[in-house]
């Protein structure tokens, strides 16, 4: 809906001679972090595997972007860098990115690249494409912060933090490859040498590329054709001497866990490294890394437990409003009869036997995917009890109070331990779920409105006369899942680097 200025709104109001109907509301429901708990997960990930994310899992896209910048800088320098319009260089890099992704999609639409579906909708019927004009400008703008390889949510952060590129010392808007990246880029260029006479690789400005040409280039730069030099370079960046010390140690622990468990399957590795009940015990040098990884997994479980409780609550509000006490009674009714009237004793009775944080996350996921099993509430109770029982980490971290760190949750549960189970669960629902949801939904909505970036209704529940009820028009949506912890990324990069053997096909 078009936004009107204050002058236009005043004029429209003055022209009216009576009441009228406003246009239909264009607000959409959204929000992937309903309780505001996920940022602490990412902070803990940075203490174990910094410089990585859950998207940038392959070596070749890093090489493509770094090489495209090197090529653009070289072309500009040969023509006189100061004479080249500033946008010519990022335009050149964007063009290479898109052609690379297009060529891979022509081979397989299932290729593991960000934005593949959005790009394929544009290119699937194209016999050729002219990289110029308003259509190309719109595509660049649409991709810049979302689906581009170098977007901040994709390969962009890793390009700098792993050491592939750095800012140009004189032109901050330009990137230049690092010395460490040089051998990999040389090896890649040698593979592509026979294609480099095409204008797309040596000219700025408008260039036309056919689908046949793009498909022919795919053979040279395919995702799975990493050279030995590229692999060696990434291995050094990932776990070598230039990598942050905590990532070096995490890499060593992962390699030891692969050897111990005889697998590179990420689910099994995660269970292996998450502590009891796993019997994997790394060397003394890796003890802090090991504890930090378990702390991360416990936090993951706590976040998933509370979001699962929120999801359960939304399901219980689908037919009519309910007060907090009614929700508490509905929760208790789905548990086995309790003989523990006090919160402390009840939590101890809910503690699972022989399960760690990863096993409990799996249990919650399975329970939500099969609601007829009747295990959703017991699984939530087990997850909650486990997280509150787990000893706090030795090192006190700076954690924002409103993110509900486990230290705050444990302190509050300690206050509640001699109260009834109903009172404790009421506190969990009102403070850890509903208050968290309202606080973050309203806060983010106001921030979006001030920035005028998007219109999303994040508030999923409101307080009505009969109690809590769903926001009008709300769909319950999909059940929550654990936040990916970068383990899949690091295993994938380690396999492509030759540090971990790939499974035989």
CB atoms within 10 A of CB 59: 27
Q: Where are the domains of the chain?
A: 59-233, 297-470
Return the pLDDT at 453: 64
Q: For residue range 296-322, list pLDDT tens digits in order.
A: 999 999 999 999 999 999 999 988 899
Residue linked to tokens 């390969």 = 155
Q: Would you say 482 and 496 are in contact if contact means Cβ atoms under 8 Å apart?
A: no
Segment 83-90 mean pLDDT:
91
Among the listed ranges 130-144, 359-373, 429-443, 469-483, which one has the minimum average pLDDT value? 469-483
Crossing angle of helices 357-369 and 266-273, rounded to 10°:
140
Predicted TM-score (pTM) of this structure: 0.90
Model confidence band, residue 1 (pLDDT cutoffs 50, 70, 90): very low
d(CA 390, CA 22): 53
Model confidence band, residue 114 (pLDDT cutoffs 50, 70, 90): very high
Spatial neighbors of 349 by CB under 8 A, at least 6 apart, are 338, 339, 340
Q: For residue range 412-446, list pLDDT tens digits in order.
A: 999 999 999 999 999 999 999 999 999 998 887 77
Looking at per-residue pLDDT, the higher value among 338 and 326 belongs to: 326
Q: For residue range 187-214, list pLDDT tens digits in order.
A: 999 999 999 999 999 999 999 999 999 9
Return the pLDDT at 2: 52
Looking at per-residue pLDDT, the higher value among 188 and 7 belongs to: 188
Segment 102-112 mean pLDDT:
97
d(CA 36, CA 364): 20
Q: Would you say 326 and 364 are in contact if contact means Cβ atoms under 8 Å apart?
A: no
Segment 85-102 mean pLDDT:
96
Model confidence band, residue 24 (pLDDT cutoffs 50, 70, 90): low
Model confidence band, residue 4 (pLDDT cutoffs 50, 70, 90): low
d(CA 434, CA 441): 10
Q: Would you say 473 and 28 are in contact if contact means Cβ atoms under 8 Å apart?
A: no
Return the pLDDT at 502: 83
Give the percent of the chain with pLDDT over 70. 93
d(CA 277, CA 449): 47
Crossing angle of helices 287-316 and 266-273, rounded to 10°:
110
Q: Where are the beta strands (DSSP E) in 22-77?
A: 28-29
Crossing angle of helices 133-144 and 88-107, rounded to 10°:
80
Crossing angle of helices 287-316 and 406-416, rounded to 10°:
60
Hey, what are 291's tokens? 């504890």
Return the pLDDT at 80: 84
């Amino acid at each position: 809906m078009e936004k009107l200025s204050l002058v236009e709104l005043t004029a429209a109001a003055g022209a009216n001679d009576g009441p009228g109907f406003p246009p239909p509301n264009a607000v959409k429901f959204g929000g992937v972090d309903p309780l505001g708990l996920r940022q602490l997960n990412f902070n803990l990930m940075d203490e174990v595997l910094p410089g990585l994310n859950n998207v940038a899992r392959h070596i070749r896209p890093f090489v493509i972007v770094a090489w495209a910048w090197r090529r653009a800088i070289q072309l500009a320098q040969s023509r006189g860098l100061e004479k080249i319009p500033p946008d010519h260089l990022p335009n050149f890099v964007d063009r290479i990115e898109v052609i690379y992704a297009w060529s891979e999609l022509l081979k397989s639409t299932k290729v593991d690249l960000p934005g593949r579906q959005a790009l394929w909708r544009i290119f699937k019927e194209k016999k050729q494409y002219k990289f110029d004009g308003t259509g190309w400008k719109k595509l660049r703008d649409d991709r810049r912060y979302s689906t581009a390889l170098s977007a901040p949510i994709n390969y962009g952060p890793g390009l700098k933090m792993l050491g592939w590129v750095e800012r140009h010392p004189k032109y901050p808007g330009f990137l230049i490859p690092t010395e460490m990246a040089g051998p990999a880029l040389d090896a890649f260029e040698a593979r592509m040498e026979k294609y480099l006479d095409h204008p797309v690789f040596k000219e700025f400005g408008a260039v036309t590329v056919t689908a046949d040409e793009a498909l022919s280039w795919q053979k040279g730069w395919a995702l799975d054709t990493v050279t030995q030099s590229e692999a060696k370079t990434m291995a050094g960046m990932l776990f070598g001497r230039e990598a942050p010390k905590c990532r070096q140690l995490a890499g060593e622990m992962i390699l030891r866990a692969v050897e111990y468990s005889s697998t590179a399957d990420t689910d099994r590795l995660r269970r292996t490294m998450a502590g009891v009940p796993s019997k994997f015990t790394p060397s003394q040098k890796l003890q802090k890394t090991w504890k930090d990884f378990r702390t991360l997994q416990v936090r993951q479980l706590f976040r998933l437990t509370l979001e699962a409780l929120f999801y359960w609550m939304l399901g219980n509000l689908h037919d009519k409003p309910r007060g907090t006490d009614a929700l508490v009674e509905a929760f208790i009714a789905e548990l086995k009869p309790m003989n523990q009237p006090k919160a402390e004793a009840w939590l101890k009775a809910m503690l699972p036997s022989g399960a760690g944080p990863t096993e409990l996350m799996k249990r919650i996921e399975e329970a939500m995917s099969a609601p007829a099993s009747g295990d959703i509430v017991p699984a939530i109770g087990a997850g909650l009890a486990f997280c509150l029982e787990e000893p706090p980490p030795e090192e006190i971290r700076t954690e924002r109070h409103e993110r509900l760190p486990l230290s705050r949750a444990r302190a509050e549960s300690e206050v509640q331990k001699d109260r009834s189970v109903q009172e404790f669960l009421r506190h969990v629902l009102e403070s850890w779920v509903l208050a968290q949801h309202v606080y973050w939904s309203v806060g983010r909505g106001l921030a979006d409105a001030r920035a005028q970036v998007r219109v999303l209704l994040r508030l999923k529940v409101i307080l009505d006369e009969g109690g809590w009820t769903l926001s009008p028009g709300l769909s319950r949506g999909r059940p929550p899942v654990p936040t990916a912890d970068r383990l899949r990324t690091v295993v994938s990069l380690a396999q492509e680097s030759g540090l971990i053997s790939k499974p035989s096909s």
